[in-house]
Chains A and B, each alone.
Chain A
Amino acid sequence: MMTATFLILAAIAVAGSATAMSLRNAVHCVLALTAGFLGLAGLYLYLGAQFVGLTQVMVYVGAVAILAVFAIMMTHHPGEPEERFSRLWLSGFIIAAAVFLTLARAITLAFVASPASTTQAAAPSVTAQQIGDTLLSRYVLPLEIIGLLLTAALIGAVIIAMDPKDDPSHTEEEATQ
């Protein structure tokens, strides 16, 4: 069932992620990772999940990659690391394997549970409208909680970035100096 389209997209995703892990320059890593994200987005689109695929591009390429790039530019990173692989590779490998097994189990279980998996049913086409309807009816509580969490994070970011001049404790410190 592996078509050429799938193979190309999967190759982009895997190659992008693998390159992101093996390159030395942090910015190159981010760019390679972005290619991996785009490959993943292509896979979603290929599966007919337009909304998820395009949101993947918007969030991961438009926001996460830019955030990573800004983090690299704003922080001081002296030289490049000596070793190509971290010394903690074993624990990293264990965590990755555990995550993979959990996800694989969840996905295979989901397929066993649904009766449609026995016959090759056509993939359901989910429109943005359906996703919106479900988000605002069945999943409205999780949505609100996430919204609250993000607002809290936003306020936290503003407080961290705020000018310390407005803070009375800082002015006292400056006065004593």
Chain B
Amino acid sequence: MIALMNSGAFSAENLDQIFVLAKHALLARTPGMLQPLASAIISIVPLMIVFPLLFAITTILERKGLGRMQNRYGPNRVGPFGLLQPAADGIKALIKEDVVPAAADQLVHFFAPVVFVAAAFLGYSVLPIGRNMVLVNLNAGVLFFFAVGSVVELSVFMAGWSSRSKYSLLGAMRAIAQMISYEVPLVLAAVPAIMAAGSLSTVDIVEAQAGYTGIFPHWFLFTPWGIVGFGLFLIAATAESNRSPFDLPEGESEIIAGYFIEYSGFKFALFFLAEYLGMFATSALGITLFLGGWSAPLSFLSFIPSWIWFFTKLLALIFFFIWIRGTLPRLRMDQLMGFAWKFILPMALLNVFVTGLWRFLPAGPLNSIRWAVCAAVLAAPCIVLSQSLKQKKKLLLRTYHFAE
């Protein structure tokens, strides 16, 4: 043990690469013929354990956090402080009866959650969760992510249509309309980061944000187009993962649970899992594109392993989503669509233009002027657009006739 410590096995660098080194050590022990297969399994299995585990942790955090925001306790019966609630939920989902409606299209009904979860997991294959920790470094990685994301819409339709229920069909129509509308700004919000990095590979995009000025990192977030891009990306990501305030597809008070209302037991849990996995994956992509991926936020904090930073950022974004859910009321369908097409989309297009402007304006001593010009080009249309979209109705104090 002491010899190991002396040889520097526990240095910061080794800790950073601990999973990569562990994989190499494991691979060295497998026979040569099995190595490609073993390499794939060793890389994939941890991903398929860690993120569902994160899902379990998030469910308890969300229920506790929302409870806190709404002045109640949240789950506090199972285990210490109710921390074992996810295990109880999981066991409950597993032992529940799997009810399939008699009129349902059996095959499609069965395959919808499977396709949904598979698509949700595929997105993780291109996300760098630490230094040298990416499953495959595709040179069109971001495109792969969005391509896989588009399969999710089809599985939503499969679930909604095959159930033969008007609520699930309505939910599916809402969900697909919403996902299509917000997929456009989601992709367009990602474009500036791709333009600045000059690559579609997620690893290259993280590389492009490496380095520090003083103690501050070169994240894309710290540019005018980065701030706007990240904001648009977060809004579109919230809508894309059907979360409040964009949770119309499963609005409990309107269409109960939307497209997966006719699912029960473990299939229902699979839909939940896939939705959360989708949210994590989109957040992780946002981190990769704008928040410097796994790099430390301040230069002197670089000694902390890269994967810790990645998961810290991911948890921060998850907390942000929970917070938003506890704060904002649900939008109406026409507000949702109007917001996407009339405000988010023009701003995303403008942001792409500003990124080009940023690229060709001189940096160096004139950096503050470049900042000011780009910020002005973004802010002025934003104000004009939001003013012109404001409804001209005069709002009066609402009077309640029978509730005084």
Contact = CB atoms under 8 A, between A and B. Distances in A.
Interface of A: 27-28, 31, 34, 50-51, 54-55, 57-58, 61-63, 65-66, 69-70, 73, 127-129
Contacts of A58: 143, 146-147, 150
A151 B166 CA distance: 35
A37 B265 CA distance: 32
Nearest to B153: A66
Contacts of B173: 73
B126 to A, nearest CB: 11
Given A51-B143, A128-B139, A128-B200, A62 B176 contact: no
Interface in B101-148: 105, 108, 138-140, 143-144, 146-148
Nearest to B144: A54
Interface of B: 105, 108, 138-140, 143-144, 146-151, 153-154, 157-158, 161, 169, 173, 176, 180, 183, 198-200
Given A70-B176, A129-B198, A57 B157 contact: no
A69 B148 CA distance: 18
Contact of B147 (A54, A65, A66, A128): A54
19 contacts: A31-B154, A31-B158, A50-B138, A50-B139, A50-B140, A50-B144, A51-B143, A54-B147, A58-B146, A61-B147, A61-B150, A61-B151, A62-B154, A62-B183, A66-B176, A69-B154, A70-B176, A73-B173, A128-B139
Tell me what chain B mostly uses at the interface: helix, strand, loop, or mixed: helix
Tell me what chain A mostly uses at the interface: helix, strand, loop, or mixed: helix
A132 B100 CA distance: 48
A50 B200 CA distance: 11
Contacts, number: 64
A62 B157 CA distance: 12
A51 B158 contact: no
A62 B145 CA distance: 12
Given A61-B150, A61-B154, A66-B180, A28 B108 contact: yes
A129 B199 contact: yes
Nearest to B173: A73
Contacts of B169: 73
Contact of A62 (B108, B150, B158): B150
A135 to B, nearest CB: 14
Given A50-B138, A57-B148, A128-B143, 17 more contacts: A28-B105, A31-B108, A50-B143, A50-B144, A54-B140, A54-B144, A55-B147, A58-B146, A61-B147, A61-B150, A62-B150, A63-B150, A66-B154, A69-B161, A73-B161, A127-B139, A128-B140
Question: Would you list the 9 A-B pairs with minimal beta carbon distance, nearest first?
Answer: A62-B150, A57-B147, A54-B147, A58-B147, A54-B143, A50-B140, A128-B200, A128-B140, A51-B140
Given A31-B108, A69-B157, A70-B176, A57 B150 contact: yes
Contacts of A128: 139-140, 143, 200
A70 B149 CA distance: 18
